């Protein structure tokens, strides 16, 4: 069976929570994740890299994008990477919200 895109979703973060978009794209082959692209996009926080504040993908090996910087990842399990992504974007939103609430 050829690789197929199994997840293609994005959702808006409310202005009250900090604004932006969370994007998930996942491709699988026989139930195994072969490619992924996870991103938190918010042009109000970061204007470079097309607004990508945080991102994880494996287009050229597993790596993390944060505010324009790219670093390789030791993690290779998609489940661990997805969990880390969710924790980090939630923390970024909390920090952003706290700064702008003052």
Which residue ranges make up each domain of the chain? 4-97
Contact 38, 85 (CB under 8 A): yes
Determine the Cα–Cα distance for residues 100 and 78; give it in Å rounded to an integer: 33
Give the predicted TM-score (pTM) of the model.
0.89
Phi, psi of 49 (to 5 degrees): 50, 40
- At residue 17 the predicted structure's pLDDT band, cuts being 50, 70 and 90, is confident
Q: Is residue 95 helix, strand or coil?
A: helix
Determine the Cα–Cα distance for residues 93 and 7; give it in Å rounded to an integer: 23
What pLDDT sits at residue 71?
95
Measured from the Cβ of residue 92, the count of other Cβ atoms closer than 10 Å reads 20
User: Mean pLDDT lowest for which of 44-53, 73-82, 91-100?
Assistant: 91-100
């Amino acid at each position: 069976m050829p690789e197929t895109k199994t997840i293609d979703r994005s959702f808006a973060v409310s202005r009250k929570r900090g604004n932006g978009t969370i994007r998930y794209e996942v491709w699988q082959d026989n139930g195994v994740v072969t490619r992924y692209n996870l991103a938190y996009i918010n042009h109000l926080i970061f204007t470079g890299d097309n607004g990508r504040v945080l991102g994880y993908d494996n287009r050229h090996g597993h790596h993390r994008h944060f505010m324009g910087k790219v670093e390789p990842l030791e993690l290779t399990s998609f489940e661990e990477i997805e969990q880390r992504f969710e924790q980090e974007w939630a923390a970024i939103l909390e920090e952003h919200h706290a700064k702008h609430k003052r």
